[in-house]
Amino acid sequence: MQVTKIGIVGLGTVGTGVARILTEKAERIARQAGRMLQLKHVVVSDPSKVREIQLPADMVSADLTRITADREISIAALLVGGLEPARTMALQLLASGKDLVTANKALLAEHGTELFDRARDLGRSIAFEAAVAGGIPIITNISQCLSANQITSLRGILNGTSNFIISQMEEGGMSFGEALAEAQRLGYAEADPTMDIDGSDAAQKLAILAHLAFGARVHWTDIPRTGIDNLDPADLKYAADLGYRIKLVAVAQLHEGNLQLSVSPTLIKLGRPLAEVRQAYNAVSVVGDAVGKLFFHGLGAGRMPTASAVVADLVDTAVGRAQITFHALELWSQRQSRVQLCDPNSLTHRYYLRFAVADHPGVLAELCGVLGRHQISIASVIQHEPDGQRNGQVPLVMMTHQATEGATQTAIREIDRLPIVRQGSVRMRVLGS
Amino acid sequence: MQVTKIGIVGLGTVGTGVARILTEKAERIARQAGRMLQLKHVVVSDPSKVREIQLPADMVSADLTRITADREISIAALLVGGLEPARTMALQLLASGKDLVTANKALLAEHGTELFDRARDLGRSIAFEAAVAGGIPIITNISQCLSANQITSLRGILNGTSNFIISQMEEGGMSFGEALAEAQRLGYAEADPTMDIDGSDAAQKLAILAHLAFGARVHWTDIPRTGIDNLDPADLKYAADLGYRIKLVAVAQLHEGNLQLSVSPTLIKLGRPLAEVRQAYNAVSVVGDAVGKLFFHGLGAGRMPTASAVVADLVDTAVGRAQITFHALELWSQRQSRVQLCDPNSLTHRYYLRFAVADHPGVLAELCGVLGRHQISIASVIQHEPDGQRNGQVPLVMMTHQATEGATQTAIREIDRLPIVRQGSVRMRVLGS
């Protein structure tokens, strides 16, 4: 039986999972691949550190040339996070003739064009199933299984940390800070969780999916994004009263040939599949013009689910499937973007609005007046009892009919300047009828 | 740009969809494949028949040699149903050097070993994504994306016709006969729907999935199966009262290294993803030892969803991915089965039981006595009011704790012989706690 030798760079959470599968499940992998995949060397920054996995001492070093200079090793799994030294190591591995597998979404979102062009020039491939949605094989499904389709819509819960925090706030009654601390205690959130909770991580993943599904050449920082860092437990409760659940939703959707991209806390009607995604799970709903609606649900992070995706890429690369896909798709090429982004202000959505107003007569009329002048029509209003803990403010919750993003933004800015308004208003999109 | 020429055999529902995508979406397919896929010839039984798709007259014939003898055509999509002449045509196409794509699950379930061995001998490949679950790419996900995993459990709603009928009975209040007629009117059910409603179709698909996921060499007729043809609307209602929905569920599950396979109407707790699969949708829930639980949901039948899967296979074959997968996996080889089937009688499940008994004192005690002697412990009992429409029978619904299949079968047989029992008892498995 043929043998493909593998190098791993990075022995953190994911790297340890990959090393474990390669060493402990070698026979199973060989059965799936029709060849042996053999781990030959692992490069780490500190070889003396005690690890959760026991590897032969000479298999682990801090020396990247133990992989780059070893002509027996044909595939390298780059499993370190961040941009540098990941980028430099990726270029060195490609230059030394290795095909690359990586789980580093930030690296691809930032330096995808450079890395993919270099790989193409060198006749090498890059596989990155693990970069988006962890254990859900969404990259292969979009780039291979749905090749007959024009994808028209893609909606995802792509950040498990945010989803876990929201679930804890909703089901466990925690504050945002308590839920974040719990996520960190369980290892779902990084020591610095900024990129998770401000929507950046989801935007990086969305940029990758939009590239695959729509040929969009967009930098993730150009995607309008709102995180969950200002999410108020009161809105989770009011949304539930209305029959909705709030999720951090990443959207890529065609509107008359132009692409809408956004990441934001969004109300989803209970019973819709995305509304039922709990804890650290991820999910992606894809609509294709031939296949109709497909829904994928699974663990979006964690050692073994992510390792499952990395090892699938290693197998695909060892047998040659990954190279075929890589060269057929011309990903991250300099080719012109196939779609332009929509003007987000022109798009219409339904909105959830919450105002904290003074308990005076005429307040509702004043708010409705502003909304009406901006062509925002109200579908329902719930005026709650004055909130004793908040200085007698009256929470006023509204659901709108379809209104443009631009008009609602302008109206909210205008409303927030009214003397009757006691704190910044809340505005979130609504999915589902 | 390179061109791969395609032949299609059969221009029914699926064949028409495939021809439409290949001819109308050629540019999009070329972008996904990195090469052109060109439909060159279509073989049908009656070329004079008026079709929904207009093709050049010389592109359509009743002569298979127009494909087999054409050396330009490298891939044939075999899109006719049934066993013959499909089997003979498949062998002829392989012998003439064509790689094969098919949606015919009955053909694979019945003649898979012969066809796959022949393809291997001839250095050809067979791709069959469309044979199971229509638009859900479950074949690729199991055989490629989950290659790092030992799959431990697979549960699927694989027959859209049955699911549609159950949905109509539950939501539309129809009888089984009315729902079946509606399914036929909408084109979901065949003129002869026997294979759909008696569980055979789901068993054929399960045999294919069990082969891929577990290396099981099992003929579909060896899978214990119960259809929905005797499903009583009363049980849908009683199940709903208890917080469950009834679905036709196909199960493949490892128990201490042995495989349980079954197809049967099953109670699933509301809120569980499989319970929420409505109308003609299919779904598959897969558990892998690395990836955890993955859930797939999509359209399981219909022209364009199935064509989406066939065209993905055509692209995979044109670019060479399908051949790699086919040769790596040694599917349907003569190799020994990697797993043995469980003795179904030894497996334990929770059960839903419904008895139609006479309205006499002591009836409940008598039933409970029989169940107790067979070690079947009762979790809950609902005795309904006597049913005026059914001669004063009393419907008695029970949920058991875990009990063996064998013991419940024996107990039900014994109970059905009691004079107090007025009609055959109903027994269904329960999933979820």
CA gap B46, B60 in Å, rounded: 9
Nearest to B295 among A289, A298, A310 (CB): A298
Strand ranges (E), B109-169: 126-127, 151-157
Name the phi and psi angles at B192, rounded to 5: -105, 100
Q: Which of A157, A284, A307 is nearest to A213 (CA)?
A: A284
Chain A residue nearest residue B291, CA to CA: A305
Asked if B25's CB is within 8 angstroms of A294's CB, the reply is no
Q: Number of structural domains, chain A?
A: 3
Angle formed at CA B172 by CA B171 and CA B173, multiple of 5 degrees: 95
CA A241 to chain centre: 28
Q: Which of B141, B294, B328 shows the shortest C-beta gap to A319? A: B328
For the record, the structure tokens of B323 come out as 């051949």
Contact B92, B21 (CB under 8 A): no
Q: Which residue in B129, B291, B327 is closest to A298 by CB distance?
A: B291
pLDDT at position B122, please?
97
Neighboring chain A residues of B297 at a CB cutoff of 8 Å: 273, 294-297
Q: For the ranges A5-9, A332-336, B321-325, B363-367, which has the lowest average pLDDT?
A: A332-336
One domain for residues B365 and B319: no
A185-195 confidence digits (pLDDT tens): 887 777 789 99
In chain A, residues with a C-beta closer than 8 Å to the C-beta of B289 are 304
Does residue B219 belong to any structural domain of this protein? Answer: yes
Q: Which of A357, A427, A352, A425 is nearest to A390 (CA)?
A: A357
d(Cα B316, Cα B52) in Å, to the nearest integer? 27
For Cα atoms A110, A113, A116, give the angle at the middle one, nearest 5 degrees. Answer: 115
d(CA A382, CA A401): 15
In which residue are the tokens 């209104």 written?
Answer: A403
Angstroms from A298 CA to nearest CA on chain B: 5
Residue A387's pLDDT is what?
64
Contact between B272 and B157 under an 8 Å Cβ cutoff? The reply is no
Q: Which chain B residues touch A141 with a CB distance below 8 Å?
A: 137, 140-141, 145
- Please give the helix or strand (H or E) that residue A99 lies within, else none: strand A99-102
Annotate B337-353 with DSSP letters as a single string: PSSPBP-GGG-EEEEEE
In a domain, A119, yes or no: yes
Residue B23 structural domain: 3-133+305-329
Query: Residues A146, A295: one domain?
Result: yes
Chain B residues inside the 8 Å CB shell of A324: 319-321, 324
- Cross-chain Cβ contact B290/A271 below 8 Å: no
Structure token pair of residue A297: 């649900």
- Asked, for residue A208, whether it belongs to a domain, the answer is yes
Length of chain B: 433
- Residues in contact with B121: Cβ distance below 8 Å, sequence separation at least 6, in sequence order: none
Asked if residue A339 is part of any domain, the answer here is: no
Does residue B87 contact residue B20 with C-beta atoms inside 8 Å? Answer: no
Per-residue pLDDT band at A12 (split at 50, 70, 90): very high
**Residue given tokens 């197998």 in the structure block:** A315
The shortest CB-CB distance from A298 to any of B292, B312, B327 is to: B292
Tens of pLDDT, residues A248-300: 999 999 999 999 999 999 999 998 999 999 999 999 999 999 999 999 999 99
- Please list, in sequence order, all residues whose beta carbon lies within 8 angstroms of the beta carbon of residue A119, skipping any fewer than 6 positions away: A94, A100, A125, A126, A326
Per-residue pLDDT at A209: 96
3 state DSSP class of A392: coil
Specify the residue for token string 């609005």: A353
CA distance A273 to B272: 11
Alpha helices in B48-157 (DSSP H): 65-68, 86-95, 105-122, 138-140
Q: Which residue in this structure is represented by tokens 């558990």? A: B287
Can you give the CATH number for the domain in which A8 is found? 3.40.50.720
Arithmetic mean of pLDDT, A293-321: 96
Q: Is residue B335 part of a domain?
A: no
Which of A128, A140, A149, A311 is the best residue to mutate to test the B interface, defined by the most B CB atoms within 10 Å of its own CB?
A: A149
Contacts A284 to B, Cβ<8 Å? none
Q: If you search the block for the tokens 């068993």, which residue do you land on?
A: B203
User: Which of B144, B296, B304 comes nearest A312 by C-beta?
Assistant: B144
With beta carbons under 8 A apart, name residues in chain B contacting A310.
Answer: 148
Q: Read off the pLDDT of residues A374-404 as tens digits, 9 standing for 90 and up.
A: 999 999 999 877 766 666 788 999 999 999 9
B146:A325 CB<8 A: no
Shortest Cα–Cα distance, A33 to chain B (Å): 6
- Among A1, A125, A299, A308, most B C-beta atoms within 10 A, so best to mutate, is A308
Instruction: Kindly list the averaged pLDDT for each block of 10 residues, start to end, along chain B of length 433.
Output: 96 96 95 94 94 93 98 98 96 98 94 94 97 96 95 97 95 90 84 91 96 92 95 94 96 94 96 92 97 96 94 97 90 75 91 92 91 95 74 87 96 95 94 72
Query: Are B88 and B128 contained in the same domain?
Result: yes
Positive/negative CA dihedral, B125, B131, B135, B140: negative
In 3D space, the residue among A351, A412, A415, A354 whose CA is nearest the CA of residue A379 turns out to be A351
Backbone angles phi, psi at A243, to 5 degrees: 90, 25
* Distance separating alpha carbons of residues A190 and A313, to the nearest angstrom: 25
| Pick from B29, B324, B330: CB nearest A321 | B324
Domain co-membership, A247 together with A197:
yes
**B145–A140 CB contact, under 8 Å:** yes
Statement to judge: residues B398 and B267 lie in one domain: no
Residues in B closer than 8 angstroms to A30, CB to CB, are none
pLDDT at position A388: 64
Please give the sequence-ordered ranges of beta strands (E in DSSP) within B117-243, or none if there are none.
Answer: 126-127, 151-157
Specify the 3-state DSSP secondary structure of A219: coil
In a domain, A338, yes or no: no
Is position B205 annotated as part of the catalytic site? yes
In this structure, the answer to whether residues B222 and B321 fall within a common structural domain is no
Q: A4, A10, A3, A5: which is closest to A60 by C-alpha?
A: A10
Q: Do A329 and B149 touch (CB under 8 A)?
A: no
Q: Is residue B339 part of a domain?
A: no
As a whole number of angstroms, the distance between CA A394 and CA B53 comes to 62
- Who wins on pLDDT, A338 or B387? A338
Residue contacts between A and B (CB atoms, under 8 Å): 188
The answer to whether the Cβ–Cβ distance between B320 and A325 falls below 8 Å is: no
Longest Cα–Cα distance of chain B, Å, equals 82
pLDDT for A192 equals 84
CATH of the domain at B386: 3.30.70.260
- Co-location of A378 and A407 in the same domain: yes
Strand partners, B37: B4
Closest to B254 measured CA to CA, from B219, B288, B220: B288
Q: What is the residue whose two structure tokens read 């090793």?
A: A73
For A232-265, b where at least 16 C-beta lie within 10 A, e where not — what string?
bebbbebbeebebbbbbbbbbbbeeeebbbbbbb
| Pairwise pLDDT comparison (A408 vs A390), residue with the higher score | A408
Nearest-CA distance B351 → chain A (Å): 27
Best of A136, A146, A147 to substitute, by most chain B Cβ atoms within 10 angstroms, is: A147
- Tell me the β-bridge partners of B404: B348
Same domain, B393 and B409: yes
Partner residue opposite A141 with nearest CB, options B34, B137, B147: B137
Residue B314: strand, helix, or coil? helix
Residue A177 structure tokens: 């800070």
What is the C-alpha separation between B260 and B344, in angstroms, rounded?
7
CB contact under 8 A, A146 and B35: no
Contact B60, B44 (CB under 8 A): yes
Tell me A241's DSSP state.
H
Chain B closest-CA separation from residue A212 CA (Å): 10
The single-letter code of the amino acid at B399 is: M
- B386 in the same domain as B240: no
CB A34 to CB B140 under 8 A? no
Cβ distance of B320 and A324 shorter than 8 Å:
yes
Of B40, B105, B205, B247, which one is the catalytic site residue? B205
The CA-CA-CA angle for residues A419, A424, A430, to 5°, reads: 125
Asked if residue A353 lies in contact with residue A346, where contact means CB atoms within 8 angstroms, the answer is no
Using a CB-CB distance cutoff of 8 angstroms, which residues of chain A are in contact with residue B327?
34
3-state secondary structure of B37: strand
The secondary element (H helix, E strand) that includes residue B316 is helix B303-319
Chain A residue with Cα closest to B282: A294
DSSP reduced 3-state for A44: coil
Q: Do A305 and B292 touch (CB under 8 A)?
A: yes
- Residue in chain A closest to B305 (alpha carbons) equals A291
Q: What value does the CA radius of gyration of chain B take, rounded to a whole number of Å?
A: 24
Residue B143 shares a structural domain with residue B31: no
Look at B312 and A33 and tell me if their CB atoms are within 8 Å.
no
Nearest to B374 by CA among B406, B342, B350, B349: B406
Mean pLDDT score across all residues of chain A: 93
Report the length, in residues, of chain A.
433
Cβ of B329 and A32 within 8 Å?
A: yes
Cα first-last separation, chain A:
56
Compute the nearest-CA separation of A404 from chain B (Å).
31
Q: Which has the minimum average pLDDT: A62-66, A81-85, B15-19, B183-187?
A: B183-187
Report how far apart, in Å, the C-alpha atoms of B41 and of each of A278, B5, B77 are: 50, 9, 11
Q: Are residues B21 and A148, on separate chains, in Cβ contact within 8 Å? A: yes
Q: Is residue B337 part of a domain?
A: no
Question: From the CB of residue A373, how many other CB atoms can be counted at a distance below 10 Å?
Answer: 12
Claim to verify: residue B286 and residue B178 sit in the same structural domain: yes
Give the pLDDT of residue A421: 92
Q: Residue A334's pLDDT is what?
A: 66
The C-alpha atoms of residue B324 and residue A34 are separated, in whole angstroms, by: 9
Q: With the CA atoms of A334, A338, A340 and A341 taken in that order, what torsion angle do they form, in degrees rounded to the nearest 10?
A: -90
How many CA atoms, within 13 angstroms, populate the side-chain half-sphere of residue B304?
A: 15
A31 and A100 share a domain?
Answer: yes
Residues of A in contact with B129 (CB under 8 A): 145
CB contact under 8 A, A34 and B329: yes
Catalytic residue among A5, A98, A105, A205: A205
Measured between CA atoms, the residue of chain A closest to residue B151 is A28
For residue A18, report the phi and psi dihedrals to the nearest 5 degrees.
-65, -45
User: What CATH number is associated with residue A231?
Assistant: 3.30.360.10
Which of B291, B306, B338 would best serve as a mutation to test chain A binding (most A beta carbons within 10 A)?
B291
